[in-house]
Amino acid sequence: MAGQLSLLARVERSERALFVRCVDHATLHQSWRLGWTVLTHLGGTLSSIAIAGLPLLLATGALRDAAGRAAATLLVSHLAVQLVKRTVNRRRPSMREATASLVAEPDRFSFPSGHSAAAMAVAFAYAMAFPTLALPLLIVAVLVGMSRVFLGVHYPGDVVVGQAIAIVTALLV
């Protein structure tokens, strides 16, 4: 057990060091900040529900079917993320590090990233339905996750686990 704790402590120390290297707000150019901020909102509640829900309501055929899977994946992964967040209760970087987040934090919980999970849930569901679009969809979802770190809202591990929850959920749905 002591070996596991020291391993977890080392992993957390490494992750926090990586976070500090990623978040250098003093040198972040205003246009990059704006770009990351716009991108991060693609994983927000309104955007992810709209991207999954509007085709479900308005489309027919394969797009409607894919939207249904995207909406189901989004819902189930959101519930899983919220359960883990409230179980683990990891504080956000702005509460632990000497840096502030550059966007509003939706709650006090950091692990796992809900924005990263939402973006990946929708992207992965559509990617499975439309393989020719998989690469750009997954790149955007990964960039949404990166934006959460660069904007100081999440640690890298929060993003990776949020995206993993979404992928596993999409595969199960």
Q: Is the pLDDT at 95 greater than 90, yes or no? A: no
pTM of the shown model: 0.85
98 confidence band (pLDDT: 50, 70, 90):
low
The number of distinct structural domains making up the chain is 1
Residue 17 lies in a domain: no
Residue 151 lies in a domain: yes
Which domain covers residue 142, as residue numbers?
42-172
Residue 18 lies in a domain: no
Residue 28 lies in a domain: no
Q: Is the pLDDT at 18 greater than 80, yes or no? A: no
Residue 96 lies in a domain: yes
Give the Cα separation of 60 and 163 in Å (integer). Answer: 28
Q: Check residue 28 and give its pLDDT.
A: 62
Question: Residues for the chain: how many in total?
Answer: 173
Give the Cα separation of 97 and 42 in Å (integer). Answer: 26
State the amino acid at position 31 in one-letter form: S
Residue 54 lies in a domain: yes
Residue 34 lies in a domain: no
Q: Residues 32-90: pLDDT tens digits?
A: 778 878 888 888 889 999 999 999 889 899 999 999 999 999 999 999 999 999 998 88
CATH of the domain at 124: 1.20.144.10
Residue 4 lies in a domain: no
Contacts of 124 (CB under 8 A, 6+ apart): 73, 137, 138, 141, 166, 167, 170
